[in-house]
Structure 1
Amino acid sequence: MGTKIIAVYENGVLRPKNRLDLPAGTEVELVILPSLKGLMKLFEGVDVRGDVESALKEARERKLWE
């Protein structure tokens, strides 16, 4: 059983965008995946009109995911 939620990370805390129907103290396991919106924001300003390798090289050089 699983539930997909959308959350925002701010000031060291993950905040679900919608209320979770869980009892207080419930332990959960999270898998963190960036949203498409987050990935698009990450690549803002990177020239992606060329080939994929060039865009990834520029992203690595700018250390976008560190």
Structure 2
Amino acid sequence: MTKIACANCDMCGAEMGELSCTLILEEGDKIDKACWCICKDCAKKFKEDIVNFYKPLVKEVKEQKKAAKNK
């Protein structure tokens, strides 16, 4: 399991982000997300980033693990 800080916490403040904004990625098809951002713009952008950044990242990591097993 990997924890990645919300990329948008600068909007609400990095200190608040460290305390409350995380994205938890788990192996397999299940992706758990959690964001308790103060501002609505930050929360909206966070959800957009999950689609635009984190899902492709998870796919890439899975492909790398699969390739490593096949060596």
TM-score, normalised by the number of residues in structure 2: 0.26
State the structure with bigger RCO (CA 8 A, min sep 6), 1 or 2: 2
Q: Which has the larger radius of gyration?
A: 1
Q: Which has the higher helix share?
A: 2
Q: Which has the higher strand share?
A: 2
